[in-house]
Structure 1
Amino acid sequence: MGELWRLLIVFFQIGLFSIGGGYAIIPLIQELAVEKYAWVSQRIFTDIITISQMTPGPLAVNASTFIGLQIAGIPGAIIATFGCIISGVGISILLYRFFRRHNKSIYVLEALNGLRSASLGLIISAAATLLLLTFIGTSTISVVAYVDWIAVAVFAGSLFVLRKWKVNPILLMVLTGILGGIIQIKS
């Protein structure tokens, strides 16, 4: 199967299961793009997720565009993005029609409450994955792990500055990006 077809099918799947939102889908994108197909490394995946969060649009769509670009250039970006979007459009149309018919049902409302709880668990899992990738360079905890103490210090300092002085998060991201670039150059 050609890479473009594989990109279309994989990102159609990702779009199909990204109902919980951007953060909830990070583990599935990681499993498929990093572990199963080895399209990108853990480090590049972390960079793609970071950039996807900073650019306008849904995280899964942005990630699909960046990964598609890495794999097959502009055609890959277009195909992966289309695959990610088309399933969501179809699901949205079906859900709209369903909820218009059943908007007063207590069962439907309770099912939505259960889905919110599941999404919260997926978001917590995604946050833990991102922290592990940032601090130890892998998404699994191992007995012998290299801890990037500089990343921990920058994270803790940023969190402190954000909470204490309520600095604009975008300004803080720019400043920590510059700091990271300086640290990278000196290393």
Structure 2
Amino acid sequence: MEKNKIKLLWDIFFTFFKISPVSFGGGYAMIPLLERAVTVKKKWVEEKDIADVLVMAQTVPGSIAVNTATFIGYRIAGLFGAIAGTIGIVTPTFLIIVALAALFLSFQHNPIVEAAFMGIRPAIVALIAYAAITIGKTAIFNTVTGIIAGVALILFLFVPVHPIFILIAGGVIGILLNRKRVTSKHVARQGADQHG
């Protein structure tokens, strides 16, 4: 394996390794940190594409954090990049949760620990809200996408339906509303293939 490729794999590993321990609140709370790391610092993903990456990570089973790291790693450096990203995001969390599991039963009713969690919970809500606003700027760009987002939110809040069905419905609506553009791009691609 080339020296540059190995260096890139280590870079992918350590980037996600550093994000993982500070992503309190789960995958959604990690989104602002992840976005800053991969779009601003490393420039691996364009800001306009980060919402698509997160959609891909959300539509398959598993943790959004792990799926995102795997997807971005694969996009940058193929299969080995996917492995490096996955191991990077999982390792710190695994080590921390093993340590906490050993300690938590002893300290879970400690007043200081309970008070700390009372402060951490609303801060995590703020992180998730920030992630939603940031992604919303690129995902909601006209009236139609705003309506889709609003209807999806209402369904999530008030209808006991699995999120995957709402995501599939959003995808179908997107295809139906943009079928002319999809068809014209498909025809153009076929024409290019025939002439190529």
TM-score (norm 1): 0.84
Structure of higher CA gyration radius: 2
Q: How far apart, in 2, do the equivalents of 1:163 and 1:19 lie?
A: 24
Q: Which residue of 2 aligns with 1:69?
A: 74
Deviates more, 1:115-124 or 1:83-92: 115-124
Q: Which residue of 1 aligns with 2:64?
A: 59
**Identity value in percent:** 32
Deviates more, 1:52-61 or 1:25-34: 52-61
Deviates more, 1:153-162 or 1:175-184: 153-162
* Correspondence for 1:20 among 17, 22, 25: 25
Distance of aligned partners of 1:168 and 1:56 in 2 relative to their CA distance in 1, 3 Å threshold: closer
Q: Which residue of 1 aligns with 2:89?
A: 84
Q: Which residue of 1 aligns with 2:184?
A: none
Q: Which residue of 1 aligns with 2:149?
A: 155
AA aligned opposite 2:110: S
Q: How far apart, in 1, do the equivalents of 2:159 and 2:179 lie?
A: 29
Q: How far apart, in 1, do the equivalents of 2:165 and 2:67 lie?
A: 21
Counterpart check, 1:180 vs 2:174:
yes
- Give 3-state SS (helix, strand or coil) of 2:150's partner: helix
Counterpart check, 1:94 vs 2:88:
no
| Equivalent pair of 1:33/1:39 in contact (CA under 8 Å) | yes
Q: Which residue of 2 aligns with 1:103?
A: 108
Give how far 1:67 is off: 0.2
Q: How far apart, in 1, do the equivalents of 2:22 and 2:72 lie?
A: 18
Counterpart check, 1:10 vs 2:4:
no
| Equivalent pair of 1:68/1:78 in contact (CA under 8 Å) | yes
Q: How far apart, in 1, do the equivalents of 2:18 and 2:40 lie?
A: 16
Structure 1 segments unaligned to the other structure (5+ residues): 137-147
Q: What is the aligned-residue RMSD (CA, Å)?
A: 2.1
Give how far 1:115 is off: 1.2
| Equivalent pair of 2:156/2:163 in contact (CA under 8 Å) | yes
| Equivalent pair of 2:20/2:90 in contact (CA under 8 Å) | yes
Q: How far apart, in 2, do the equivalents of 1:105 and 1:162 lie?
A: 35
Aligned residues: 176
TM-score (norm 2): 0.80
AA aligned opposite 2:39: V
Distance of aligned partners of 1:3 and 1:185 in 2 relative to their CA distance in 1, 3 Å threshold: farther
Structure 2 segments unaligned to the other structure (5+ residues): 182-196
AA aligned opposite 2:149: F
- Give 3-state SS (helix, strand or coil) of 2:24's partner: helix
Distance of aligned partners of 1:63 and 1:186 in 2 relative to their CA distance in 1, 3 Å threshold: same
Q: How far apart, in 2, do the equivalents of 1:166 and 1:20 lie?
A: 23
